[in-house]
Amino acid sequence: MKTIINEIVNEIIINKSRFITVVIPINKIEDINTKIDILKMIYKDATHYCFAYIIDSKEKCEDDGEPSGTAGLPILNVLKNNDLTNILCVVIRYFGGIKLGSGGLIRAYSSSVKEAIKQAKIGHIEKGYEIDIEFDYDNMKKMDYFLKDLDIKKIFDEKIIYTFKISEKNYNNIKDIIKNYGNILNIKNINIIKGD
């Protein structure tokens, strides 16, 4: 699965209408309305706020007052054609006074999303875990050796606690070793995004 790593804002003008496309990496459906509300505050006087999202297997699109099927669906189709997931795309339109017709609107919304995605950094999503592991100080060298390629948050107290993210594949390769030298306090399923 692919997603974008960075948020993108791109603007094109078609027949005096401004189409501002904002493409946002997103992991939770609950965050979508907040993101759209923020964009509505930033671009206060826009005529339409059309959007589409894909998060895992869930998807939705919205025309926001444009003729049915001329905005949300073209946005969604561009996301799907690029095999993207965990993504929200909002196209903000300032009407310029010239009507584009159904075909023109479909082309305009599709083009605006395609142009924005061209600027995005694409990453791949892997299933993984966020893990908290606790161990004694005498096991620190061993743990550092086995986890040397990971970005680790370290807490030093009576025992040491490491918090890190690891792909499912890499975790399966070292899980027995980790369990031999420490106690897993918490393991949470997450998606890990790796850049190309």
- Residue 57: the pLDDT is 83
DSSP state of 138: G
Cα(54)–Cα(182) distance, integer angstroms: 38
- Residue 195: the pLDDT is 67
- Residue 196: the pLDDT is 59
DSSP H helices in the chain: 32-42, 72-81, 101-118, 140-146, 168-181
Rounded to the nearest 10°, the torsion over CA 167, 168, 173, 178 is 80
**Mean pLDDT of all residues belonging to the chain:** 92
- Both tokens of residue 62? 């919205």
- Residue 19: the pLDDT is 97
Cα(33)–Cα(60) distance, integer angstroms: 12
- Residue 17: the pLDDT is 93
Q: pLDDT in tens for each of the 196 residues of the chain?
A: 789 988 999 999 999 999 999 999 998 899 999 999 999 999 999 999 999 999 988 999 999 999 999 999 999 999 999 999 999 999 999 998 889 999 999 999 999 999 999 999 998 888 889 999 999 999 999 999 999 888 999 999 999 999 999 988 889 888 888 888 888 888 888 877 776 5
